[in-house]
Amino acid sequence: MEIISGGVCAAKGFKANGIHCGIRKNKTKRDLALIYSEKRANAAAVYTTNLVKGAPLTVTKQHIADGYASAVICNSGNANTCNANGIEIAEQMSDLLANELKISANDVVVASTGVIGQPLSIEPIKNGIPELVSGLADNKSAEAAEGIMTTDTRLKEIAVSFTVGGKVCKIGGIAKGSGMIHPNMATMLVFITTDCAITTEMLQKALSSDIQNTFNMVSVDGDTSTNDMVTVLANGMAGNTEITAEGEDYTEFMKALNTVTVHLCRCIAGDGEGATKLIECSVTGAQSDSIAKTVAKSVICSSLTKAAMFGADANWGRVLCAIGYSGAVVDVNKIDVSFKSQKGEIPVCKNGAGIEFSEEIAKEILLENEIEIKVALNDGEYSSTAWGCDLTYDYVKINGDYRT
């Protein structure tokens, strides 16, 4: 397996584009994105469990119920959520794009992201679709990635090549996500493309399995979005024998998919609103997978721990506190904690109690922009990892006037 360039355009037969159509007031920011497969692709998706769902999710779920899709259209700047005519707008987006691409509207995945409860006019989208389609190219993954950004400060994309049945396959993805991130199925918007041949059933199985250890283990602020969605399109143009069941080929596909999703998870967590640091909590020695996940997620969700990481304060007691209220059954007298970064690693807690350590060295370690909180429960064989970010003054500033 090899990391390559190209994002969602790395796989054969996929093109993309992103433009400014006028949804956002800032004309320098793209607000409409498109991903297109030359060959009708097998499709799989997972959606937010929030009872308040964006209209595009309802429409997309209906469109790919047959397991196929050819294109993804996504606007930023407006979530098209809690709008009386939201379904109508989402369907219009699909119809307009389908007409321009000469495909079925039922083969369109539609997505929106931005402010909730604001009316969305179809006019800028209608006027922008011809330019969006005419500008499609196999080197415009970055433009599409820009088109789905809201408060994101940097692009989130990756692609890898891998081999299945002697054929070189490619898989790539783009994502957006910076705030309102605490998913319970996926997180924010993620679009993944691959030329690997795999049935819709196995594609859905792979995605549903993968998110349990990736996107469901990310949190920025504890809020589950109304528009979270992850979709995967597989057009089979790599020419491998189609994956129809578990086995060696399926395992290789899962490894490639996981490489893409873990990278995007880290990108999303590290670009949390106002964040200055990516925080990774790795838990080992748990009695069960569920306990490991619960502990890891609780630590990276702790506001006090996040604030301590912002201040480079080795306040390990906050880590123990987060474990204690997580609901996980653990023996607190066995827990070890250490902090790690590129500057080194320093143990701060042994068997649930504090140990002597250099505050100066600890601070130097915690001043780095990627921090690992290592938690050893010493009570079993299961492990898990979760990703989050620090809590800064800027998070409040950004969300204090997000709408206005």
Listed residue (295, 204, 298, 299) closest to 254, CA to CA: 204
Is beta strand 167-176 parallel, antiparallel or unpaired with respect to 189-194? antiparallel
Contacts of 386 (CB under 8 A, 6+ apart): 217, 218, 219, 280, 281, 283, 293, 296, 297, 299, 300
**C-beta atoms surrounding 119 within 10 Å:** 11
DSSP line for 314-357: --THHHHHHHHTS-----GGG-EEEEEETTEEEEEEETTEE---
Q: Which residues are catalytic?
A: 187
CA distance 369 to 222: 21
The residue written with tokens 């409860």 in the block is 117
Q: Name the region of 45 (left: φ>0; alpha: ψ -120 to 50; beta: rest).
A: beta
For 193, half-sphere exposure in the C-beta direction (CA atoms, 13 angstrom radius) is 33
How far is Cα of residue 369 from the mean position of the Cα atoms in its chain? 20
CA distance 90 to 59: 7
CA distance 14 to 36: 6
Give just the sign of the alpha carbon dihedral 69, 75, 81, 86.
negative
CA distance 141 to 15: 8
Note whether 67 and 102 are within 8 A (CB). Answer: no
Helix (H, G, I), strand (E, B) or coil at 280: strand
Angle at 287 between CA 284 and CA 293, to 5 degrees: 60
